Amino acid sequence: MTEKEISQHLFEYQKIIQTSLDGFWVVSVDDARILEVNEAFCRMVGYSRAELLSMSISDLEAVESPEELAIHLKKVAESGYDRFETRHRHKLGHLIDLEVSVSYSGLDSRTHFAFARDITEHKRAEEALRASERQFRALAENFPDTLIRYDREGHRTYVNPALERIFAVAGKQVIGVSPRDVNPLGLPEIYQHALRHTLATGESCEFEMQLPQRSGIVGTGFVKIAAERGADGQISGAISIGRDITKLKQAEQQLRELAAHLQSVREEEKTRLAREIHDDLGSTLAALKLRLSHLMDFELPDNMKETTLFTRLESMSQILESAIASTRRIVTDMRPDVLDNLGLFAALKWQAERFNQHTGIACRIVCANDDNCADCKRCEFHLDETLSINLFRIFQEALSNVARHSGASSVKAEYRPAVDHVFLLISDDGCGLPDGHVPASTSFGIRGMRERVVQLGGQIKFDSPGGSGLCVTVILPLTSVDTANVGGRA
């Protein structure tokens, strides 16, 4: 190789070294003196090139002592290469983390040349991640609810002690497997579907599911699955938190049963009071009216009919008429006779007519089977008393809401009895419900309707189709007695 070629190679070598983003230095094996550095290394440690060329690498080294560094350099000379992490002292006093790749030159000069990469931020990120992981485990391992972490493919990477305790499994039995695999947890399809959805879209899922327990009794769990994201914002996995709400659901059911019982007692008491008022007070008022009429029918001289006495008798007659009318209204409000005598559909029609008379709002109810009414007769059958009175009260409450809040001019109701259920739809042309409407704590009307339906195992929906008007849809399952009565009167 000619001298010119050697110079060219040296020039290219210097150009590569000086333009490298990694730090570069050359040290003597014998005394660790710095023989050469590039600008990147100068920037890393804060010294100028001239300053560094007057220093030893041990002046910068913060991990190994000068004696340990000398031994390390000799070992590299023997092996020819090493790669390690260390720390150097910056000129300003702080430490920087470096990843160093060092090679022995193999020439008579007995030198090492090394490339160093600043990994300070990387180490800080690693330490922050480790601290975050320690905090997560400290929280998760003392968490009373079950907690599961999944990777991007849906395989479990962590389960907390609460899950091991509730499901009576060891973590190693379920770590590394997905819900689709056969495993001791036996999670239902709704869980698997929610996990796949979250991992695919990043959207959180909340739901209730059956929760198998060690005793073999199936309980109820509330689960939330949320996506975990990496520093780049991409989905890196998911975390699932589950809470055993079996006792809460049992308490809710007991409260519903108690509320249903109290409601039934109230309706029975209303029925009893209505009958007593009708039979006792109604009869008494009717008798007084009759006797007063007899008294006023006596043949009196004309001059007697203009007396104060006769005027008072007429006034008493009017008061009795008013008392009798009020009694009838109270009895009807407490328990309408038409409901017991003619059935639910007739009672709904009566209530619709009464609503129209009192509010001026047009109200019409139809049976969905009107086209075949001659053959169907389903609207005439008598439902179970509990179903009848609850549907009637729901209809009353829906009409009351229309009168108070909707500003509607008309209401249409549709009644549809079927083989195994009864359907009632009430719709108005009023203002409807705003988007995202949540009933206030004082909105006992809507809450009361919903609670009645839940107690009977049915479904109720409130919506505003087309953005105007309110539509209340009620579907209640029929009892075996109701089903047997379909097609004719009981």
pLDDT tops 60 at residue 193: yes
Would you place residue 307 in the very low, low, confident or very high pLDDT band (cuts 50, 70, 90)?
A: low
Mean pLDDT is highest, among 61-65, 299-303, 323-327, 466-470, for 61-65
CB 408 within 8 A of CB 402: yes
Would you place residue 320 in the very low, low, confident or very high pLDDT band (cuts 50, 70, 90)?
A: confident
Residue 214: per-residue pLDDT: 54
Would you place residue 48 in the very low, low, confident or very high pLDDT band (cuts 50, 70, 90)?
A: very high
pLDDT above 70: percentage of residues in the chain: 80
**Domain covering 3-118, topology:** Beta-Lactamase (3.30.450)
Would you place residue 234 in the very low, low, confident or very high pLDDT band (cuts 50, 70, 90)?
A: very high
Q: What is the homologous superfamily of the domain 124-244 according to CATH?
A: PAS domain (3.30.450.20)
Residue 247: per-residue pLDDT: 85
Residue 489: per-residue pLDDT: 37
pLDDT tops 70 at residue 175: yes
Residue 486: per-residue pLDDT: 46
pLDDT digits (tens, 9 = 90+) for 348-404: 998 899 899 888 999 999 886 655 444 445 555 557 788 888 888 899 888 888 888
pLDDT digits (tens, 9 = 90+) for 102-117: 988 766 568 888 999 9
Mean pLDDT of the chain: 80
What is this structure's pTM? 0.52
Residue 204: per-residue pLDDT: 94
Residue type, 367: C
Would you place residue 490 in the very low, low, confident or very high pLDDT band (cuts 50, 70, 90)?
A: very low
CB 453 within 8 A of CB 474: yes
Residue 200: per-residue pLDDT: 94
pLDDT digits (tens, 9 = 90+) for 49-58: 999 999 999 9
CB 110 within 8 A of CB 130: no
Residue type, 270: K
pLDDT tops 60 at residue 248: yes
Residue 57: per-residue pLDDT: 92
- Just give the CATH number of 339-485: 3.30.565.10
Mean per-residue pLDDT for 313-340? 78
Mean per-residue pLDDT for 479-486? 50
Residue 217: per-residue pLDDT: 56
pLDDT tops 60 at residue 213: no
Query: If you search the block for the tokens 């009864």, which residue do you land on?
Result: 422
